Amino acid sequence: MTPKQLAFQTAVEGIIKKLSLRNMEGYFFEDSASCVKAITDMMEDGSTISWGGSESIKECGLMEAVKSGSYQLIDRFSAKTPEEGRELFAKTVLSDYYLMSSNAITYDGKLINIDGNGNRVACLIHGPKNIIIVAGMNKLVPDVESGYARVRNTASPANAKRLNRNTPCFHNGRCGNCLSDDCMCNQIVVTRRSGIPGRIKIFFVAEELGY
């Protein structure tokens, strides 16, 4: 591993200890391939699986592996009407595994997530039996405030470009603290502890993944 990856590993080892105090589990992987294998080995054949909008789980290869596996997939993007969307979300809430990333993770083990529609943070908070979070080296921050800043000024502008949202961050490349119709920062959630031991599992990968 490179010095940057070794430093990341050292930081993650400390974070994993903090996560255990917060009823969450953490795992470190040198690369995406080993991470994806560990996750797919964990998920039983026939399990119901859904996911939030995440570039990290796409880039690491997890989505490709899941779609080629023996799982029951609940894809909210397949909905053709708002009614179908609501029905799929209801199924998502009852899924065995929910796949996502976290916008930021602090060194003391808190998760920071900012959402537009709220479906992703809703599932993180309550519903699916297991939450699988894939996080690259770019997601670590010193504290919650740094996490807010990272999401608003790094992740959100990139997502605005990807989704073609008419927001100040799309036009200026930084947060404008907007209240626009296309705002992607409607819900801000800090997860400081899991009420159910082991429900939330964070898979740290020594690569740059997502925004």
- Indicate whether 210 belongs to any domain: no
Determine contact, residues 8/137, Cβ cutoff 8 Å. Answer: yes
How many Å apart are CA 179 and CA 116, to the nearest integer? 11
Q: Is residue 179 part of a domain?
A: yes
Q: How many domains does the chain have?
A: 1
Q: What is the pLDDT of residues 162-205, one digit of tens each?
A: 999 999 999 999 999 999 999 999 999 999 999 999 999 999 99
- Give the pLDDT confidence score for residue 80 in this predicted structure: 84
Q: What CATH number corresponds to the domain at position 140? A: 3.40.50.10420
69 within a domain of the structure (yes/no): yes
Q: Per the domain annotation, does 120 fall within a domain?
A: yes
Measured distance CA(168)–CA(41) in Å, rounded: 42
Following DSSP, what letter does each residue of 155-169 receive, concatenated?
Answer: IHHHHHHHHT--SHH
At residue 78, the pLDDT reads 85
**What is the distance between the alpha carbons of residues 57 and 64, in angstroms, rounded to a whole number?**
9
Residue 104 predicted with pLDDT over 90: yes
Using pLDDT thresholds of 50, 70 and 90, give the confidence band for residue 76. Answer: confident
Selection from 66, 130, 144 nearest residue 93 by Cα: 130
Q: What are phi and psi of 171, to 5 degrees?
A: -85, -30
Half-sphere exposure of 118 (CA within 13 A, CB side): 5
Task: Identify the domain containing residue 60 by its residue range.
Answer: 3-205
Q: What is the pLDDT of residues 107-152, one digit of tens each?
A: 999 999 999 889 999 999 999 999 999 999 999 999 999 999 999 9
